[in-house]
């Protein structure tokens, strides 16, 4: 009897020791994890320190031992959850997902399953897999038992919509957080996001009201600063500049906002500028440049100063000086590219004017002529005035800042215009571009642009092709500055003075198109289209004008116009036009003259360009297939069929099985080269996939 009692006692002692061992192992893992969490929360940066990473690693290794050495313990699911969360904190989202999935799959009845599902969705979200994240998090929001994590899950669902720029939908999702979980720590952030959505939806008044509501949710200090800052911005957007300045100055009085003083001062300067207090604005910008040199803030200040001198003071020299200083101040500034773009446009436009009237060579005369710094340009009295130049450059500023189109299709984006596909001068041609000579079948027409390039400054010395310069000025106004009135003036100059030039017909049609599409003057546009038809018969612009007026052309006209359009595309090819413009030019032949003999020729050339110039065989194959289907009975339809046959044979050869080489015994795969220590270490770090057994006792 004593022997039995002794054995039972020994078993109890061993069992107790084992239980203590596995509990102590998990307890140590938990302690390391909590220490890492506390250190992370105290940190002022989002980047983990080496000590924090070390603590998470220790937690992972201790939890891994529970899984590896005590697989039947009821602490296994706890260990899996802890490992997954530690991997998540380290940014190793794939490993985290693996652990959460192990818990969910192997312990579906665990009371930790909902928490694991939440963290799984959170891992997918952090990894950018929004589809899987939405699936996991949606389930958490709808489950009553998962109420603990529902607010966070709903917030992340709203965040996904926001990050996808679905601001209207995101608005509703954030409102679910605010209304459904008003006491959640995420409510204040959700309310702030509501304000951001309204700002992005261009509703500054409603946005300001939303930002004001943030303070009712007891936000943390950083969120308070952001909300108040956004209130000031909204007031500025509403045009309530003095109130906006009051808000920003209040933020400056709080020393806790010291790290954000430069951004706040930029807003004050911008408010001063917008309300017309230029002296105060310039002074503040200059102080920012002095107080925060070589920073994003000083670069923005330089940019804003450049716009003031350009837009309001019309001082080109000062404007260009500040715009060029943006990149020097801080090369990575978000304003650097915009500033350079505006600066280049100033140079280009003024350069074109100087081509029309270059300064005298005589130094004594040249010395008496005002320079660009004196805000005057050397030009003939019948050319565009300085104020027009100023206006056009100013128009470009908004376009560059907003990075948005006006919503109007410009010539070149509509059938029958081709204004953006102008042939380059001979000196601008790019040598070395291969031409499918055996395919295109060029039939050069004497006197066309393909034979005689227009005279330019570059290829004719001092002789300037004034028609070309005026035409380029018009295009520059239209396409870079969206200045229709200024463009019209130069198009009319070409039409009135140089109607026989290569740019006469194009200018006539451009005038009609601008009057029709941009200015929306139907009667004047009709007259301009009729004038184009009457004065430039048989040209592509005759055809385009007829289409605009709803007329139909004859097959003979189409054939002639197709030839013209095809030769224009060919000229562009020979002179090194960019690939996109080339393809559009050839595609116009197909779209506008599908019944002409030039359509299949243009189609084949597009395929050739895609195959040999762009090196995109898949796109070329699609073009050849379409050409074979639509123009199979033509010469180029037959050529496309041959091309497709060659592609098919190449694909079949790739599919043929390759002879397998015999593997010598001495060959060792990377997997076989791993020693036992490596495998054991991997198991300890990640833990094996757990398969539950029927006799495992659950919590």
pLDDT digits (tens, 9 = 90+) for 455-509: 333 333 333 477 887 888 788 777 766 678 878 988 998 999 889 888 899 999 9
Rg, the chain, Cα only: 36
Distances (CA, A) of 370 to 313, 365, 386, 391: 18, 11, 13, 20
User: Could you give the CA distance from residue 315 to residue 376 in angstroms, rounded to a whole number?
Assistant: 10
Among 106-120, 358-372, 560-574, 580-594, name the most confident range: 106-120
Average pLDDT of the chain, as a whole number = 76
Which pLDDT does position 666 carry in this prediction? Answer: 46
Which pLDDT does position 573 carry in this prediction? Answer: 77
Q: What is the mean pLDDT of residues 201-229?
A: 93
Which pLDDT does position 472 carry in this prediction? Answer: 81
- Each residue of 564-594: pLDDT tens digit? 778 878 877 776 667 787 888 888 888 877 8
Residues of 275-285 as b/e, b for ≥16 C-beta within 10 angstroms? Answer: bebeebbbebb
Instruction: Tell me the pLDDT band of 543, cut-offs 50, 70 and 90.
Output: confident
Q: Provide long-range contacts, Cβ within 8 A and 24+ apart, for 358-367.
A: none
The domain limits of the chain are 1-109, 553-653
Among 657, 222, 596, 611, CA closest to 434: 611
Which residues neighbour 199 within 8 Å (Cβ) at sequence distance 6 or greater? 207, 230, 233, 234, 237
Q: What is the mean pLDDT of residues 652-656?
A: 67
CB 97 within 8 A of CB 123: yes
Q: State the DSSP string of 260-272.
A: GHHHHHHHHHHHH
Among 116, 106, 111, 80, CA closest to 694: 106
SS3 459: coil
Which pLDDT does position 580 carry in this prediction? Answer: 81
User: Could you give the CA distance from residue 104 to residue 112 in angstroms, rounded to a whole number?
Assistant: 8
Place of tokens 């054939």: 559
Identify which has the larger pLDDT, 543 or 90. Answer: 90
Is the domain defined by 553-653 classed in CATH 1.25.40.10? Answer: yes
Among 24-38, 267-281, 510-524, 659-673, name the most confident range: 267-281
Which pLDDT does position 446 carry in this prediction? Answer: 30
User: Could you give the CA distance from residue 412 to residue 479 in angstroms, rounded to a whole number?
Assistant: 10
Instruction: Tell me the pLDDT band of 21, cut-offs 50, 70 and 90.
Output: low
Q: Which two tokens stand for residue 612?
A: 């040999």
Which pLDDT does position 198 carry in this prediction? Answer: 94
Q: How far does the chain reach from its first CA to its final CA, in angstroms?
A: 35
Q: State the DSSP string of 302-359.
A: HHHHHHIIIIIS--HHHHHHHHHHHHHH-TT-TTHHHHHHHHHHHHHHHHHHHHHSPP
Domains 1-109 and 553-653 share a fold: yes
Which pLDDT does position 555 carry in this prediction? Answer: 67
**365-370-375 Cα angle (round to 5):** 160
- Each residue of 314-339: pLDDT tens digit? 777 888 899 999 999 999 999 999 89
Which residues neighbour 357 within 8 Å (Cβ) at sequence distance 6 or greater? 378, 379, 380, 383
Is the domain defined by 1-109 classed in CATH 3.10.450? Answer: no
**Percent of the chain scored above 70 by pLDDT?**
71
- Each residue of 608-649: pLDDT tens digit? 888 888 788 888 888 888 888 888 888 888 888 888 878 777
For the cut 60, the answer to whether the pLDDT of residue 282 exceeds it is yes
């Amino acid at each position: 009897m004593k022997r039995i009692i002794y054995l039972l006692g020994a078993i109890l002692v061993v069992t107790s020791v084992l239980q203590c061992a596995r509990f102590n192992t998990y307890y140590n893992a938990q302690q390391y994890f909590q220490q890492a969490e506390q250190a992370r929360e105290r940190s002022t940066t989002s980047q983990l320190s080496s000590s924090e990473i070390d603590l998470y690693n220790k937690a992972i290794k201790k939890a891994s031992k529970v899984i590896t050495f005590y697989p039947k313990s009821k602490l296994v699911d706890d260990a899996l959850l802890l490992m997954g969360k530690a991997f998540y904190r380290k940014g190793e989202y794939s490993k985290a997902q693996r652990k959460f999935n192990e818990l969910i799959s192997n312990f579906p009845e665990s009371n930790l399953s909902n928490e694991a599902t939440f963290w799984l969705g959170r891992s997918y979200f952090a990894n950018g897999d929004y589809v899987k994240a939405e699936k996991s998090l949606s389930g958490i929001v709808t489950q009553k038992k998962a109420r603990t994590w529902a607010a966070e899950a709903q917030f992340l669902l709203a965040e996904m919509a926001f990050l996808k720029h679905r601001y209207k939908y995101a608005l509703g999702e954030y409102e679910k957080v605010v209304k459904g979980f008003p006491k959640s720590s995420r409510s204040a952030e959700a309310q702030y996001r509501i304000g951001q959505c309204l700002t992005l939806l261009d509703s500054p008044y409603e946005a300001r009201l939303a930002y004001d509501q943030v303070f009712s949710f007891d936000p943390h200090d950083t969120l308070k600063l952001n909300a108040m800052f956004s209130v000031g911005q909204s007031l500025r957007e509403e045009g309530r500049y003095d109130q906006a300045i009051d808000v920003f100055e209040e933020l400056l009085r709080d020393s806790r906002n010291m790290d954000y003083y430069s951004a706040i001062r930029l807003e004050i300067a911008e408010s001063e500028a917008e309300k017309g207090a230029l002296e105060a604005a310039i002074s503040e910008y200059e102080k920012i440049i002095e107080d925060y040199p070589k920073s994003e803030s000083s670069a923005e200040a330089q940019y804003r100063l450049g716009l003031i001198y350009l837009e309001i003071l019309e001082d080109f020299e000062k404007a260009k000086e500040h715009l060029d200083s943006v990149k020097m101040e801080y090369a990575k500034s978000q304003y650097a590219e915009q500033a350079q773009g505006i600066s280049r446009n100033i140079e280009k436009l003024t350069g074109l004017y100087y081509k029309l009237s270059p300064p005298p060579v005589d130094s004594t005369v040249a010395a008496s002529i005002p320079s660009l710094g004196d805000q005057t340009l050397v030009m003939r009295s019948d050319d565009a005035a300085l104020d027009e130049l100023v206006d056009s450059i100013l128009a470009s500023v908004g376009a560059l800042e907003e990075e948005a189109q006006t919503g109007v299709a410009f010539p070149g984006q509509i059938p029958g215009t081709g204004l953006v596909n102008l042939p380059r001068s001979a000196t601008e041609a790019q040598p070395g571009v291969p031409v499918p000579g055996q395919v295109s079948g060029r039939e050069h027409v004497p006197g066309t642009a393909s034979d005689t390039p227009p005279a330019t400054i570059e290829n004719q010395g001092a002789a300037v092709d004034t028609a070309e310069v005026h035409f380029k000025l018009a295009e520059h106004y239209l396409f870079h500055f969206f200045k229709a009135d200024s463009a019209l003036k130069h198009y009319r100059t070409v039409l009135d003075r140089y109607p026989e030039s290569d740019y006469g017909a194009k200018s006539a049609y451009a005038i009609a198109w601008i009057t029709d599409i941009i200015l929306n003057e139907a009667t004047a546009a009709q007259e301009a289209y009729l004038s184009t038809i009457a004065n430039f018969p048989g040209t592509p612009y005759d055809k385009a004008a007829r289409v605009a007026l709803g007329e139909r052309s004859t097959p003979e006209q189409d054939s002639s116009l197709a030839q013209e359009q095809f030769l224009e595309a060919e000229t562009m090819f020979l002179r090194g036009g960019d690939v996109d413009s080339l393809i559009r030019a050839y595609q116009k032949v197909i779209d506008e003259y599908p019944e002409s003999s030039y359509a299949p020729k243009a189609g084949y050339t597009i395929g050739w360009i895609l195959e040999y110039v762009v090196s995109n065989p898949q796109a070329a194959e699609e073009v050849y297939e379409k050409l074979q289907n639509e123009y199979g009975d033509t010469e180029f339809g037959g050529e496309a069929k041959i091309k497709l046959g060659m592609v098919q044979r190449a694909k079949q050869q790739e599919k043929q099985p390759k002879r397998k080489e015999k593997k010598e015994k001495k060959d060792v795969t990377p997997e076989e080269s791993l020693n036992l220590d490596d495998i054991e270490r991997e198991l300890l770090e990640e833990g094996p996939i757990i398969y539950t057994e029927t006799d495992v006792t659950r919590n």
